[in-house]
């Protein structure tokens, strides 16, 4: 495999992985660390696998600067299962309400699950403006007795992102960071729980990362099925049952790659530069391309835009496909175009898209 056989991959998830990581996995595929087998064939109880598992946890702790009073878990079932596990563990039986900050389809899915287990309300929402922005929210909106506040840090479908997180005082703050985890430094101590499916920024699908404060764990409801109880996985270091071993190995390698890139400060600089190449193309197109998100809420991970009409959008997507670009269709629920520029999308790929967009405009206006 050479660089020039790689697609210009803007998939929203599963998404591009670093070529270096794929090459390393290929090299180690049939004989991992002289074990005579692949990582997938190792027992999850073997010391060789345990080193992979604990290594990934340690790297995550180091790169995100996770404080000591947080647990790091590798679960399955995707971020979508967290929509259910959170209210099962922290809402039912609490006599409290959960507050959801509504910024798009993923928040909608999360609150719908929550209502199966207790009371949840929308503490703020930008739905009436097609989720073009991150809505205003301050802790004054809370009554202080909520079980928790839930937000989606980056809205994969609408292309908006929280750039400053709200203060929630004593009320626990829980964030779905599926589509921007490890794309920027964050102050983990502001959150009581962070969760993310790995398949956007961190590896293949199949692993869900959960970072959870020990204090929050103490408040968990006792009557929760074993596999859906956070404490089960804390007690067994995410080895209660068979974990997704290959995904965790890949996650560890992606984290090594992030470190090699200079860590989160340098990753975030690169991400902003990459996204701005495309936003600049949109902003300088005299209205040929229009961004869906309001400027101050723009995501550095998912860039959503439209062309003057649906026919041109269709033509744009067709021609882009022929030119080697993948994944530029907007989500099936909203249409339009979307470029996902996660960590592993090379800057050159973003340059290529920007040039393609300018040429397409030139030919069609």
Ligand X SMILES: *Cc1c(COP(=O)(O)O)cnc(C)c1O
Active centre residues (catalytic)? 106, 176, 200
Chain position whose Cβ is nearest to ligand X: 78
Shortest distance in whole angstroms from residue 201 CB to ligand X? 10
**Taken in order 125, 129, 133, 135, is the CA torsion positive or negative?**
negative
Is the Cβ of residue 106 or residue 257 nearer to ligand X in the bound state?
Answer: 106
Looking from the CA of 209 toward its CB, the CA atoms found within 13 Å total: 35
CA proximity to 281, closest of 291, 271, 267, 272: 291
User: How far apart are alpha carbons 200 and 340 in whole angstroms?
Assistant: 9
Shortest distance in whole angstroms from residue 50 CB to ligand X? 25
Is the Cβ of residue 83 or residue 325 nearer to ligand X in the bound state?
Answer: 83
Is the Cβ of residue 207 or residue 234 nearer to ligand X in the bound state?
Answer: 207
Is the Cβ of residue 103 or residue 306 nearer to ligand X in the bound state?
Answer: 103
Is the Cβ of residue 78 or residue 203 nearer to ligand X in the bound state?
Answer: 78
Shortest distance in whole angstroms from residue 227 CB to ligand X? 16
User: How far apart are alpha carbons 237 and 294 in whole angstroms?
Assistant: 42
Which own/partner contact pairs does 294-298 have at CB distance under 8 Å and 24+ positions apart?
294/132, 294/133, 294/160, 296/133, 296/163, 297/132, 297/133, 297/134, 297/160, 297/161, 297/163, 298/159, 298/160, 298/161
Structure tokens at 14: 């599963």
**Taken in order 314, 320, 322, 325, is the CA torsion positive or negative?**
negative
Is the Cβ of residue 13 or residue 172 nearer to ligand X in the bound state?
Answer: 13
Using DSSP bridges, classify how beta strands 173-176 and 148-152 pair: parallel, antiparallel or unpaired.
parallel
Is the Cβ of residue 152 or residue 168 nearer to ligand X in the bound state?
Answer: 152
CA proximity to 344, closest of 200, 242, 214: 200
Using DSSP bridges, classify how beta strands 119-125 and 97-102 pair: parallel, antiparallel or unpaired.
parallel
Judge whether 197 and 79 are in contact, CB under 8 Å: yes
Shortest distance in whole angstroms from residue 308 CB to ligand X? 28
Contact set with ligand X (CB under 6 A): 13, 78-80, 106, 152, 156, 176, 178-179, 197, 200
User: How far apart are alpha carbons 122 and 214 in whole angstroms?
Assistant: 27
**Taken in order 33, 39, 42, 48, is the CA torsion positive or negative?**
positive
Shortest distance in whole angstroms from residue 338 CB to ligand X? 12
Shortest distance in whole angstroms from residue 178 CB to ligand X? 4
> 316 CB contacts (<8 Å, ≥6 apart)?
307, 328, 337, 360
Shortest distance in whole angstroms from residue 46 CB to ligand X? 27
Q: Is 3 helix (H, G, I), strand (E, B) or coil?
A: helix
């Amino acid at each position: 495999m050479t660089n020039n056989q790689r697609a210009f991959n803007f998939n929203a998830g599963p998404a591009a992985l670093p070529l270096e990581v794929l090459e390393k996995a290929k090299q180690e595929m049939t004989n991992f660390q002289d074990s005579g087998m692949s990582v997938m064939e190792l027992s999850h109880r073997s010391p060789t696998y345990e080193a992979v598992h604990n290594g990934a946890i340690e790297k995550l702790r180091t790169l995100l600067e996770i404080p000591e009073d947080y647990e790091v878990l590798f679960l399955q079932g995707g971020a979508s299962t967290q929509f259910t596990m959170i209210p099962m563990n922290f809402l039912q039986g609490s006599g409290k309400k959960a507050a959801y900050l509504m910024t798009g389809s993923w928040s909608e899915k999360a609150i719908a699950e929550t209502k199966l287990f207790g009371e949840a309300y929308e503490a703020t929402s930008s739905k009436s403006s097609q989720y073009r922005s991150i809505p205003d929210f301050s802790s004054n909106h809370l009554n202080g007795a909520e079980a928790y506040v839930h937000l989606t840090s980056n809205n994969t479908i609408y292309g908006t992102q929280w750039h400053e997180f709200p203060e929630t005082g004593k009320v626990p703050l829980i964030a779905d960071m599926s589509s921007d985890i490890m794309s920027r430094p964050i102050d983990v101590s502001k959150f009581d729980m962070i969760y993310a499916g790995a398949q956007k920024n961190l590896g293949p699908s199949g692993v869900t990362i959960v970072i959870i404060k020990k204090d929050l764990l103490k408040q968990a409801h006792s009557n929760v099925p074993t596999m859906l109880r956070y404490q089960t996985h804390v007690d067994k270091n995410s080895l209660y049952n068979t974990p997704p071993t290959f995904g965790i190995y890949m996650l560890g390698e992606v984290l090594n790659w992030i470190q090699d890139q200079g860590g989160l400060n340098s990753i975030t600089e690169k991400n902003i530069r990459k996204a701005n190449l495309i936003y600049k193309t949109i902003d300088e197109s005299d209205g040929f391309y229009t961004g869906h998100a309001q400027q101050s809420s723009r995501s550095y991970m998912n860039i959503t835009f439209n062309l003057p009409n649906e026919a041109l959008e269709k033509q744009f997507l067709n021609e882009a496909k022929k030119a080697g670009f993948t994944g530029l269709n907007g989500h099936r629920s909203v249409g339009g175009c979307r470029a996902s520029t996660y960590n592993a999308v090379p800057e050159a790929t973003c340059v290529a898209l920007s040039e393609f967009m300018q040429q397409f405009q030139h030919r069609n206006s």
